[in-house]
Amino acid sequence: MGEPLRHNLIQVEILADFSEKKNCTPAQPATAWVLVQAKDIVLPIGTSKRDRLQENLGSPDVLLSPVDLASMDPAFPEGNFQCDRYQSVAMHAVAG
């Protein structure tokens, strides 16, 4: 297992622990956290599975307290996840 994957799996474990406390999926508090970062954020949700769409649409229902945010903010600083989601050619197509 490469170092970037090992690093990212630690971040996923933090989300899994947090979601267990909130009784939701790991994606939901992650998405809810992004939504509270600023009032002008519009989160594009893309999926090919209906159940994932339902999961994502439930993210605003996950209420994050100031204590929750205080624990999540240092755990997920900007640029914390390592490696691109797609290979560089595909990232160029996605990011423009």
Domains identified in the chain, total number = 1
Q: Model-level pTM?
A: 0.69
Q: Which residues, other chains included, contact 12 with Cβ-Cβ below 8 Å and sequence gap of 6+? A: 26
Contact 71, 36 (CB under 8 A): no
Chain segment 17-40, per-residue pLDDT in tens: 889 989 999 889 988 888 888 778
For residue 60, the enclosing domain spans 3-95
Chain segment 59-82, per-residue pLDDT in tens: 888 998 999 888 888 887 776 666
